[in-house]
Amino acid sequence: MSLIVKIGKTGKRILKKYILPPPQVNLSFTRRIERVKTGRRICAMTFDDGPMDMPASPDNFGGRSLTDVLLDTLEEFGAHGTFDVVGDTSENYPDKAGKPGSAAWGGVRYDHYPDFKHDDRGGALHNDVLIRRIIDGGHQLTSHGYRHIIFGRKSVVYGDREFLGSVDAALYDLERLHALMEEKYGYTLKFHRPPHYVDIIGDGFTSYDVLDRLGYQYLAASFDGAGWLPSTLKDPGEALEAEVRAMVEPMERALERDPNFFCGQIIFQKDGYNMARRTPVAFALRRQLELLKKYGYTVVTVDELIEESPFADMGSDDPLCAKMCGLARTAPVAYSDNTLRLSAPMKTGELAMLLAPMSEAMDLRWAAIRSAHKRLHPYCGAMEWCKKAGLIPPDADPASPVASLPAGFFEPVRAYTRREVYGAYKQE
């Protein structure tokens, strides 16, 4: 099964790069953050599915929990990690364990962390000491869902999986983890990574709508640390070493080709077993951090990376950066892929997204989707609000280029590019 997953992932990359048209992006309250633009040698590492209060496998660390081993290693290098935690998977029964080495190794209907029938050894609900150590060590916590249930159907790999299937169910799941972290630790989550990156919910909404409501950003990654895939070698020792090499060698090759390769990148890691119930990350992380240190990198939290520059195509040295950062707090000025594309012409729908109050535009859009029972244009709420306010014509098309700006909101502009319009906008 692991070979099927590998082939599927490779095929998907080829399709996206060479065959399929580029994915359509729109301005979005929620931005999918994979990397940011910076010339500094800083990057972030995210660790999914923990915390895990079970030992590494094989256990060469005196019985210490895997999460403790990862924290020990990070702190030895002065690195700060981002731990993308679940709440509790013990409610995900009845279920049965899948075939070892398959994508369903931890459960056929649901995921179970850290392992099947060992749910009480994982998740934030059961691991107060580990959560407090993460916080006290200056690391970051992000959301991976309370029960780690996929939002919608994913037929190819997870065809037997139960899924949430509605925006309300997805919102409830994330709110449970958000409330747990605030009430128990006074910690406010700001990022979420959807389980298995399933975005289409199936009731007209997507993961972006859920994150909009919570004020989260979408935590993605630009480099796969590869610690989740098992080797097909039969000897356990040889298999582990092959898995460790698979985590280290791609990083080494990338840095040899381009020492600045990881500038601003987010690296995906796993705080848990791979599909063969081994933990190569416990052994490879040190070698990865040694490589990054050799090339002068500092590993920071995602929050710290965002402080450097929140966008994928604008660095902090751009004269407009401070203003765009300010605008992004109250309006969707970046696209869903976290780009600004400031040289492009401003479209009418984009102007509406700037002018309409965020909460009112969101409410109007949600009401329209619930009424239509299908996906609608992401700008429909903002367009409706601006038409009612007389800021754009009643027959305006969201895709049409802006030819004039409403009086009182802008300084004079020389052209209607996105850079010029945002630069001329009068911030309150």
Q: How far does Cα 24 stand from its chain's mean position? A: 18
Give me the pLDDT at residue 72, please.
Answer: 98
Let me know if residue 212 belongs to a domain: yes
User: Looking at the structure, do residues 122 and 67 belong to the same domain, yes or no?
Assistant: yes
Helix, strand, or coil here: 13?
A: helix
Let me know if residue 73 belongs to a domain: yes
| Domain end among 270, 288, 306 | 306
User: Looking at the structure, do residues 172 and 279 belong to the same domain, yes or no?
Assistant: yes
Residue-wise pLDDT for 244-285, tens only, equals: 999 999 999 999 999 999 999 999 999 999 999 999 999 999
User: Looking at the structure, do residues 32 and 137 belong to the same domain, yes or no?
Assistant: yes
Tokens of 189: 């989550």
Tokens of 359: 């909460």
User: Looking at the structure, do residues 299 and 365 belong to the same domain, yes or no?
Assistant: no
Let me know if residue 15 belongs to a domain: no
Mean pLDDT to the nearest integer, 222-246: 95
User: Looking at the structure, do residues 297 and 167 belong to the same domain, yes or no?
Assistant: yes
Let me know if residue 378 belongs to a domain: yes
Let me know if residue 372 belongs to a domain: yes
User: Looking at the structure, do residues 139 and 267 belong to the same domain, yes or no?
Assistant: yes
Number of domains forming the structure of the chain: 2
The upper half-sphere exposure of residue 56, i.e. CA atoms within 13 Å in the direction of its Cβ, equals 23
The full DSSP string for 376-427 is --TTHHHHHHHHHTTSS-TT--TTSBP----TTSB---SS-BHHHHHHHB--
User: Looking at the structure, do residues 116 and 166 belong to the same domain, yes or no?
Assistant: yes
Name the more confident of 100 and 83: 83
| Domain end among 271, 306, 341 | 306
| Domain end among 252, 277, 306 | 306
Mean pLDDT to the nearest integer, 74-80: 98
Residue-wise pLDDT for 311-362, tens only, equals: 999 999 999 999 999 999 999 999 999 999 999 999 999 999 999 999 999 9
Phi/psi at 30 (nearest 5 deg)?
-100, 130
Q: How many residues does the chain have?
A: 428
Question: Does 1 have pLDDT greater than 50?
Answer: no
User: Looking at the structure, do residues 407 and 361 belong to the same domain, yes or no?
Assistant: yes
Range of the domain at 410: 314-424
User: Which amino acid is present at 428?
Assistant: E
**Residue 288 CB partners (closer than 8 Å, separation 6+):** 225, 247, 248, 251
User: Looking at the structure, do residues 254 and 287 belong to the same domain, yes or no?
Assistant: yes
Tokens of 325: 């950062």
Let me know if residue 14 belongs to a domain: no
**Residue 199 CB partners (closer than 8 Å, separation 6+):** 151, 152, 206, 207, 208
